[in-house]
A and B are shown apart, each in its own frame.
Chain A
Amino acid sequence: MNTVHPETPATGMCDAYSSDCPPASSALHGSPAAPPAAVAAPVVSLREVAVVRRGRCILAVESFEAQSGEFVVVVGPNGAGKSTLLGVMNGFVRPAFFRPAFFRPGSGGPGNGRAEVLGCDMRSFGGWRVRKRVALVAQMVDVDARLPISVLETVMVGGYGRLGLWRRPGKALRELALSHLERTGIAHLAHRPFGQCSGGERQRAAIARALTQEPDILLLDEPTSALDWHAQRGILALVADIHAERRHTARPLTTVMVTHDLNALYHGGEGEARRTVADRVVCMAEGRVTWSGPVADALDAERLTALYGTPIDIIRHGPRPVVLF
């Protein structure tokens, strides 16, 4: 693994947020942007983190980090712990640390465990507060077509966490949500019942909702599963553009995307040079990180064959590597 252990983890951000204060650069509240940090700090820092369900260890990560502004793609077979990893990052899943006895029988120390996201200790009871700054685009699920909520309303929900319990959503939030509907190409659906949208439209609405949240970290859990090829291509291009737009701003977006689609690592139309959406690929199997490295090295037939337990070939289509299975 080539993840780097920082000497000085990010601190202080959680405290600022635990009092429900919006970040200084929130467009929702119209404040100016903060100056860029001189050194990129890891926004996600997990070390010796474990998740146990019904007596079975479903996640056992020795080290996983994401730097501010990084785009990390997590791949691996079903049951590898990818979604659980995202759950730890947004506070849905409360992590434990490896017990010393787990690896070093007889040792009585607390170990070197760490689970921090944006400076928040994700083992604390207040870990859920980090969700206001960590947006999750979950796997697509069936929605009741009669659900009494419009596309605009569901996108506005993205800003409700920041507003807190006592403030009502106003014109600013509505306009922010409308601008993100425009950005994701579904402004014409603003007043359609959410349950009556197609799968691709619902995913675009979910991304618009995530943008309305104005997150520092964007988590995507198989955002293109169950979509047709046209919709898949559109969603991936949208995610890549959103990430790229904030790359050189004061608040770069850190994106972590879980996918089964290894061909999603590269995109680009006919005649375009190959473009990669990711900075780094993380391979997971049986709850563990088995490999982490740059995209250029990720598509290795031998490694992927071992990872998925099925023969996988890599061929070239012009400059673009294509995964065949």
Chain B
Amino acid sequence: MGSSPFDHAFMLHALAAGALAGVACSVAGVFAVLMRLTFIGVCLAHAAFAGGLLALAFGLPSLPAALASSMVAALVVGPLADRGEISPDTAVGIVFSAMIGVAVLCMGLLPGPKTEALNLFWGSILTVRPRDVWLLAAVAGVAVVGVAVFFKEVQAVACHRSVAAAVGIPATAVFYAILLQTGVTVTACLPSVGGLLVYSLLVSPAAAAYQLTYSLGRMFLLAMFFGALSGVGGVLVAWYLDVPAGAAVVLFSCALFLLAAWFSPKRDRAARSASSRG
């Protein structure tokens, strides 16, 4: 392609959406990785996605329904996980298959071309509307400001929730605020990244940052940097290689994780030398 990607308004929207989705997802992802809640992220992402499709099947706007669906999932799965009444494996198995079932059912019910429904699957970052970019900016802004203002509570709850509760921090309220923020984030990412791919963007940048630092503040900054880099880098890769943008964003974030894991100072030296010998 001869022209620059920055010459096109749709590409500028896509780059902004990629960067903002990366930042918002990586903040939620730090909680998911530290608190071992990645399975709840899967549940919320799929619930949002299925809710959006269900709304489309009935001719309703998809995003409010997706938000409501992920909120309900957070309020149902959260207490179950909190009380240890379901294992993460079981929850993912049931929710994933149920939501895919709902999705396929809704696709079958939808008359005519299913472009909008498929966009909820894979996202359509290159055709994202300014309204969706503003929504992502608001969600990312709230997430960053929330972490900055309540950093001490966030640190205490994310690193050792039972200790935080024992010293009198309202740890349960912080936990549910984190779940709701995760639900809002995956919903805001549906139009651009899609319900199936958002989970990877949620986990990979945070997991990459986790490999590189023992400071929570630095982990948030690194995760946001990796998230934004994945969004921007993925869109640019999609432009230059002419490949699907959502997939490029996700694969870019996975590649960053692999690099971080390989160069991690936390990696066991013995394991590293054994693997290099092997």
Q: Which residues of A contact B (CB under 8 A)?
A: 90, 92, 128-129, 131-132, 135-136, 138, 143, 145-150, 153-154, 157-163, 165, 168-169, 193-194, 209, 213
Contact = CB atoms under 8 A, between A and B. Distances in A.
B166 A146 contact: no
A150 B159 CA distance: 10
Nearest to A137: B166
B163 A131 contact: no
Contact of A148 (B165, B166, B216): B216
B193 to A, nearest CB: 26
A148 B219 CA distance: 8
Given A128-B168, A131-B165, A168-B152, A154 B214 contact: no
Nearest to A219: B166
Nearest to A153: B155
A153 B152 CA distance: 9
Interface string B143-176: 0000000101101100110111111111000000
Contacts of A194: 159
The interface centre, meaning the residue of B164, B169, B215 with most chain A CB atoms within 10 A of its CB, is B169
8 contacts: A92-B165, A146-B214, A153-B155, A154-B159, A154-B160, A157-B152, A157-B156, A160-B164
Interface of B is mostly: helix
Interface in B218-277: 218-219, 266
Contact of A146 (B160, B164, B210): B210
Contacts of A90: 166
A243 B63 CA distance: 58
A135 B166 contact: yes
Given A148-B210, A160-B152, A168-B152, A132 B167 contact: yes
Contacts of B164: 157, 160
Contacts of B160: 143, 147, 149, 154, 157
Contacts of A150: 214-215
The interface centre, meaning the residue of B152, B153, B211, B213 with most chain A CB atoms within 10 A of its CB, is B152
B168 A138 contact: no
Given A146-B210, A148-B214, A148-B215, A161 B155 contact: no
Contact of A161 (B169, B215, B216, B218): B169
A135 B162 contact: no
Given A131-B168, A153-B155, A148 B34 contact: yes
Given A90-B166, A135-B167, A193 B159 contact: no
Contacts of A168: 152
Given A148-B216, A149-B155, A161 B163 contact: no
Contact of B167 (A148, A160, A193): A160
Given A148-B210, A165-B153, A157 B168 contact: no
A153 B155 CA distance: 9
Interface residues of B, number: 26
Nearest to A149: B159
Contacts of A169: 152
A173 to B, nearest CB: 10
B168 A132 contact: yes
B145 to A, nearest CB: 14
A162 B159 CA distance: 19
A146 B169 CA distance: 23
B232 to A, nearest CB: 25
The interface centre, meaning the residue of B159, B166, B170 with most chain A CB atoms within 10 A of its CB, is B166
The interface centre, meaning the residue of B34, B160, B165, B167 with most chain A CB atoms within 10 A of its CB, is B167
Nearest to B167: A161
Nearest to A148: B216
B166 A165 contact: no
A177 B209 CA distance: 28
Given A128-B170, A154-B160, A168-B152, 18 more contacts: A131-B166, A135-B166, A135-B167, A136-B166, A138-B163, A146-B210, A148-B213, A148-B216, A148-B219, A149-B216, A154-B163, A157-B156, A158-B167, A160-B152, A160-B167, A160-B168, A209-B167, A213-B168
Contacts of B170: 128, 165
A138 B156 CA distance: 16
Contacts of B152: 157, 160, 163, 168-169
A160 B156 contact: yes
Contacts of B34: 147-148
Given A92-B165, A128-B168, A148-B34, A160 B153 contact: yes
